[in-house]
Structure 1
Amino acid sequence: MAEVSAEARIEAPAGKVWAQLTDFSSYGEWNATHTSFPKGGPAPLELGATYEENMKLMGFPAEVVWTVDELEDCRLLTTRGKGPMGVNLAMRYALAPAQDGGATTVRIEGEFTGAAVSLMGGKLKDSATAALQESLRKLDGLVTP
């Protein structure tokens, strides 16, 4: 198993960050691992919704079928996915608004399990952590003026 996480404070209200985070038509503008949605993103975004995503991690393409596992508007989105070679993935996006409501702490956590993960655990963890950090930088750039 490989677990990864990254966190950033974004100087924008949680509603604005959430709107960008869940706008699947512009997902590739901030998500560093995303390449495309072959059939579109989850529409509508709701518990149990499934969708396919093409990704690239460690330079390798992967097709993942995701299911929305948890959903709290403007606070939490958790998805679970099945990828190639028996790899299972989980992604959790948690938003915590600041006391004054003008900024939001965004935390992304990922988990990769399966036999193939144990073979490349260290490299996968480093690559995925870097991708999460890059994604948060890009997300910040899209929602803050």
Structure 2
Amino acid sequence: MAEVSAEARIEAPAGKVWAQLMDFPSYGEWNATHTNFPNGGPESLETGATFTENMKLMGFPAEVLWTVEELESERALAIKGKGPMGVLVTTRYSLAPDGDATTVRIDGEFTGAAVSLMAGKLKDSATAALNESLRKLSGLVA
């Protein structure tokens, strides 16, 4: 298993940050691992909804079938996905209002036999991608 996380204070209210997170057509502008949504982004999100995303991590392309596990407007989005080679991926976005700013945290977890072979490198690559994503997200909403 490989666990990763990143956190940033973004100089924008939670509603504005949340709106950007939910704007799936613009995912490629800030999400460092996102390539595209082969079937288009999710029409609407609700617990149990599914969508497919093409991603790239450590230079390798991967298609992930995501299921929404938790959704609390302007607070939290948790998705769990199945990727290639039996890899399971969990991603959780948490927003905490802080005056006119918002603290955004992204937590991720990778599990599966293939992960154990490259856990250290995966953790470093994914952590760097999360930090880059938060930096780009901040630039879009601040």
Please, what TM-score do these two structures have when normalized by structure 2? 0.99
Q: Give the 5 Å matches for 1:85-96.
A: 85-96=85-96
2:110 to 112, 115, 124: 112
Q: CA RMSD in A?
A: 0.4
**DSSP-derived class of the 1:12 partner:** coil
Q: CA deviation at 1:54?
A: 0.3
Q: Give the 5 Å matches for 1:33-72.
A: 33-72=33-72
Structure 1 window deviating more from structure 2 (78-87 vs 36-45): it is 36-45
Q: CA deviation at 1:42?
A: 1.6
Structure 2 letter corresponding to 1:23: D
Structure 1 gap segments, 5+ residues each: none
What residue number does 1:82 align with?
82
Q: CA deviation at 1:24?
A: 0.3
What is the total number of aligned residue pairs between the two structures?
Answer: 142
Cα displacement string for residues 99-137 of structure 1 (whole angstroms, at most 9, x for unaligned residues):
x2x000000000000000000000000000000000000
Structure 2 gap segments, 5+ residues each: none
CA distance in 2, matches of 1:40, 1:110: 23
CA distance in 2, matches of 1:43, 1:90: 21
Structure 2 letter corresponding to 1:108: I
Structure 1 letter corresponding to 2:117: L
CA distance in 2, matches of 1:48, 1:92: 15
Structure 1 window deviating more from structure 2 (108-117 vs 42-51): it is 42-51
Cα displacement string for residues 48-75 of structure 1 (whole angstroms, at most 9, x for unaligned residues):
1100000000000000000000000000
The runs of at least 4 consecutive aligned structure 1 residues that moved more than 4 Å come to none
1:139 aligns with 2:137: yes
User: Once the two structures are aligned, what percentage of the paired residues are identical?
Assistant: 79
Q: CA deviation at 1:41?
A: 1.5
